[in-house]
Amino acid sequence: MNSLKGKFIVFDGNEGCGKSTQAKMLQSALEKAGVDVLLVRDPGTTRIGEMIRQILLDPTNTEISMRCEMLLYMAARAQMMKEIILPALNAGKCVVSDRFVSSTLAYQLGGDGLNADEIRRVGDVAVSGRWPDLTILLDMPVEQSSHRLKGRPDRIEQRPREYHEKVRENYLAQAKLDPKRIRILSADGQPENVHADVLKTLTSFFK
């Protein structure tokens, strides 16, 4: 676990795949191991980021274009990187994030003609060139993950099934293109079993 000091780890995947649960479980495991860890959520965490999050997820904001949506997500990340993540990493803390740029490369890709190169260029500016060391992609069929959603769906969750199927395809394509930094884990299991797989992945990746 000491090898995780100063490392940046992201959990990502479709709505309802268990990202938040696994991020919190990892935070707890690291704290028990004596690792100084910071858990953040994307978008959000900072005051500015939480304000942007409200705009992005409010179902009444139907006029937001996909290009504007992408830039808003990046703006929230830029604030979080400057205010919280980079100082934490520089202090030797392990940062665990619930979503990151990998989400934009899945959810906004193709909208308003956006391509992956454009998103990555904007992302590089937003994150000041400090990309995650490891992204854990929690994968499961959309039909199963959608059943896990609770409460009133937000603006993104309300999109049609076909959209979320494409998002899953985009995630898997990312992992195929960047196998060195993205690991796919099945999220179709009990949280404790998925957590065990996460720990095995971390041990192997940072050995």
Report how far residue 159's alpha carbon sits from residue 161's, in angstroms, rounded to the nearest whole number.
7
Q: Which helix (H) or strand (E) holds 169?
A: helix 161-177
Domain of residue 144 covers: 2-205
Q: Where are the beta strands (DSSP E) in 112-168?
A: 134-139
What is the token pair recorded at 133? 């060391």
Predicted pLDDT of residue 152: 75
Matching residue, tokens 């095995």: 200
207 residues of the chain, pLDDT tens digit each: 778 999 999 999 999 999 999 999 999 999 999 999 999 999 999 999 999 999 999 999 999 999 999 999 999 999 999 999 999 999 999 999 999 999 999 999 999 999 999 999 999 999 999 999 999 999 999 988 888 887 778 999 999 999 999 999 999 999 999 999 999 999 999 999 999 999 999 999 998
Predicted pLDDT of residue 148: 82
User: Bridge-partner residues for 6, per DSSP?
Assistant: none
Report how far residue 100's alpha carbon sits from residue 10's, in angstroms, rounded to the nearest whole number.
7
What is the CB-side half-sphere exposure of residue 130 using CA atoms within 13 A? 19
Best CA proximity match to 187, nearest among 147, 144, 139, 149: 139
Asked if the bond preceding 179 is cis, omega within 30° of 0, the reply is: no
What is the CB-side half-sphere exposure of residue 207 using CA atoms within 13 A? 6
Q: CATH number of the domain that 70 lies in?
A: 3.40.50.300
Report how far residue 43's alpha carbon sits from residue 74's, in angstroms, rounded to the nearest whole number.
9
Q: Coil, helix or strand for 183?
A: strand
Domain total for the chain? Answer: 1
Tell me how long the chain is: 207
Predicted pLDDT of residue 151: 75
